[in-house]
Amino acid sequence: MTERHRDGRPRPLLPSERPIRFLTDGGTPARGPHPYPEPDPDLLLRAYRRMVVGRRFDAQATALTKQGRLAVYPSSRGQEACQVGAVLALDDGDWLFPTYRESVALVTRGIPPVEVLSLLRGDAHCGYDPHRHHVAPQCTPLATQTVHAAGLAYAERRKGSGRVALAFVGDGATSEGDFHEALNFAAVFHAPVVFLVQNNRYAISVPLERQTAAPALAYKGIGYGVRSEQVDGNDAVAVLAVLGAAVAHARSGGGPFLVEAHTYRMEPHTNADDATRYRADAETERWRRRDPIARLEAYLRGLGRLGDEEAAAIAAEAEEVAARLRAGMNADPDLAPLDLFAHVYREPTPQLAEQRALLRSELQAELHAEEVPV
């Protein structure tokens, strides 16, 4: 199946029959017959560093839930190649539209780790400045952010900015109406947006085969005329290669691009979930042997681009990030309860103003009025 360039020339629309991969499960070269060039080794080393730091951040955030410092945390352990690869494929001016599971991507983007966790700690609607970082607030409803990404990308196209938007979405969210509306809108209006589907096999506890009859989630783009591809999401080299091509496609005026990354969520859906009730340990162990960081490390060592000294320095950097995160999260934030109403609407509605006044009076009844920030 093909789509047409505007000059009438055909271009491929279907994804590869099998996920694109550059590495074996053990990290040795396994490049197949596909058109994607291998990323520069310097970029691969940069990705490795960000993946190691991201995993340490993830482990520390998980520990903070056990200490009561976080109400909930959805781990992305095992999905680091997708999270880091997406950020490194973009320019600084491009936009990210994350879900609640993309904390590692946000840290990779340069958002301070404590600000990344502010939403999950319950401190604020969004702990960071979306405009400063070009990162939309982390989205909990399924697939609603894909519509926002398509709309923003279309606006950037109208402005001629050359910017691209990338929306993360999970496998379960591809069954939601918003996902399909976003693909259709993006295709019709030629919006420069990349949809990255992280197929981690489970929508909370529902396995992929109970969610969809499609042969691959990448095929869901075809019906809308969206160029699609599938990639081994635990192969960082392949993820960087395919996402780099997808972003270039969108930026050059080719329209939207859908990438399905085959990966696996090693931890439960959140710390409130019991994954042993819906999947076997043997399955998890098979994916553990495809660990994205171990595969990339083995490849870089084989290339002679990573040695013991540099690996130790990267591990030490990751520990420093974890230590700063612990210190930041152990400090109680200075919160203003009435800020709850500050960013809902540009001009508060009468109902919202009434709710704000009610909360203020209740706080004043419990505390001294002069201690309540207004």
Q: What pLDDT was estimated at residue 9?
A: 52
Tell me the pLDDT tens digit for each residue of 168-220: 999 999 999 999 999 999 999 999 999 999 999 999 999 999 999 999 999 99
Residue given tokens 């783009």 in the structure block: 221
**Catalytic residue (one of 157, 265, 290, 295):** 265
Q: Above 60 in pLDDT, residue 355? A: yes
φ, ψ dihedrals at 111, nearest 5°: -75, 130
Q: How far apart are CA 29 and CA 296, in angstroms?
A: 10
Burial of 91 (0-12, 13-18, 19+ CB in 10 A): exposed
List the chain domain ranges.
Answer: 41-330, 337-371
Is pLDDT larger for residue 5 or for residue 99? 99
* Catalytic entry in 134, 269, 290, 295: 269
Fold of 41-330: Rossmann fold (3.40.50)
d(CA 141, CA 85): 24
99-116: pLDDT as tens digits: 999 999 999 999 999 999
Greater model confidence, 124 or 191: 191
pLDDT computed for residue 373 by the predictor = 55
Q: Decide: 242 and 218 in contact? Cβ < 8 Å.
A: no
State how far the Cα of 198 lies from the Cα of 6, in Å rounded to an integer. 30
Per-residue confidence (pLDDT) for residue 8, from 0 to 100: 56
49 phi and psi angles, rounded to 5 deg: -60, -45
Active-site option among 180, 278, 305, 326? 278
- Which residue is it, tokens 């999270």? 83
Residue 358 above 70 pLDDT?
A: yes
Residues 6+ apart with CB under 8 A from 297: 27, 48, 306, 311
Distance CA 273, CA 269 (A): 6
Q: Yes or no: say if 227 and 254 are a contact pair by the CB < 8 Å rule.
A: yes
Is 368 annotated in the active site? no
Residue 138 pLDDT more than 70?
yes
pLDDT tens digits along 228-258: 999 999 999 999 999 999 999 999 999 999 9
- Is the CA virtual torsion 318, 320, 325, 326 positive or negative? positive
pLDDT band at 28 (very low <50, low <70, confident <90, very high): very high
Q: Is 264 a catalytic residue?
A: no
pLDDT of residue 10: 52
Choice between 346 and 193, residue whose per-residue pLDDT is larger:
193
Q: What percent of the chain has pLDDT over 70?
A: 95
**Mean per-residue pLDDT over the chain, rounded:** 93
Which of the four pLDDT bands, split at 50, 70 and 90, describes residue 36? very high
Note the pLDDT of residue 4.
Answer: 52
**Statement: residue 307 has pLDDT above 80:** yes
Question: Is 73 part of the annotated catalytic residue set?
Answer: no
SS3 category, 87: helix
Question: What is the distance between the alpha carbons of residues 280 and 270, in angstroms, rounded to a whole number?
Answer: 17
Round to the nearest angstrom and report the end-to-end CA distance of the chain. Answer: 60
* pLDDT number for residue 206: 94
